[in-house]
């Protein structure tokens, strides 16, 4: 049995994989409940994911209380909203599937889910496994989970830091729609009041000053500066 464990931190679920007939099935554990995505259910039933989604939509009123939308981290490191089903929702999907794999897959999943929700993890014990190997395998799984948790926490922190840096950078690089509108309105007001509606008398000096072709190319910082200048300085000095 191959283990693949990954932790999403306090606000993110524990994601782990188990293999059924060499097919990896992904489970999600969060707040003492275990969930499966529509993709995981489709893999286990050996049907297309669209069929699982269709079963859900055809029975949405019944299955909605047993489903949720979780924000998961993809292998590419991005956040993705994903619909997941708890044990009851999973059973509901299987019962409405025509797949011949439905019953054995359901039995296999429920055995894992019940054990995970009771013990926190699941390891399939084979008949030829001695007590020492059994104990060592449990230790290995717990160690893998702890290591993966640290790795995912670092990965999440890195993503959050990148987002913060981009947000901070945007404040100074890109003129916001709100500032753009204020600047345009102020130029229009001054043009009507002092230059017979000729906006070019104001825009032309600004473009020369910053070496741009359009006021859309102004940074937020420069746009804020010019907006204050327009509001406070005599327009005849343009």
Distance CA 230, CA 189 (A): 10
Distance CA 169, CA 183 (A): 21
Half-sphere exposure of 113 (CA within 13 A, CB side): 22
Burial degree of 27 (CB within 10 A; 0-12, 13-18, 19+): buried
Q: What pLDDT is recorded for position 7?
A: 34
Asked whether the predicted pLDDT for residue 178 surpasses 80, the reply is yes
- Average pLDDT across the chain, whole number: 78
Give the chain's domains with CATH numbers: 4-129 (3.10.260), 177-237 (no CATH)
Tell me the per-residue pLDDT of 209-234, one tens digit each, with 9 for 90 and over: 988 888 888 888 888 888 888 887 65
Considering 25-29, 39-43, 152-156, 184-188, the range whose residues carry the highest mean pLDDT is: 39-43
Residues 190-202 have a mean pLDDT of 87
More confident residue, 39 or 74: 39
Q: What pLDDT is recorded for position 71?
A: 80
Q: What pLDDT is recorded for position 140?
A: 62
Distance CA 203, CA 186 (A): 11
Asked whether the predicted pLDDT for residue 34 surpasses 80, the reply is yes
Residues 23-48 have a mean pLDDT of 88
């Amino acid at each position: 049995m191959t283990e693949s464990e990954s932790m999403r931190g306090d606000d993110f679920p524990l994601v782990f994989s188990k293999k059924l007939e060499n097919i990896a099935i992904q489970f999600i554990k969060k707040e003492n409940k275990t969930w499966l995505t529509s993709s995981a259910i489709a893999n286990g039933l050996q049907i297309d994911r669209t069929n699982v989604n269709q079963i859900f939509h055809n029975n949405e009123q019944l299955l909605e209380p047993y489903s949720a939308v979780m924000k998961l981290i993809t292998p590419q490191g991005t956040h993705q909203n994903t619909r997941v089903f708890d044990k009851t929702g999973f059973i509901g999907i299987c019962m409405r599937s025509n797949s011949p794999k439905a019953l054995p897959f359901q039995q296999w999943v429920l055995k894992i889910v019940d054990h995970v929700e009771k013990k926190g993890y699941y390891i399939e014990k084979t008949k030829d496994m001695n007590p020492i190997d059994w104990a060592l395998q449990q230790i290995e799984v717990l160690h893998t989970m702890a290591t993966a948790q640290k790795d995912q926490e670092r990965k999440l922190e890195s993503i959050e830091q990148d987002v913060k840096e981009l947000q901070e950078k945007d404040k100074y690089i890109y003129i916001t729609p709100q500032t753009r509108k204020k600047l345009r309105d102020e130029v229009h007001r001054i043009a009507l009041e002092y230059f017979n509606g000729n906006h070019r008398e104001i825009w032309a000096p600004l473009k020369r000053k910053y070496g741009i072709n359009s006021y859309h190319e102004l940074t937020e910082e420069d746009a804020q500066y010019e907006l204050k200048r327009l509001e406070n300085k005599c327009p005849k000095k343009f």
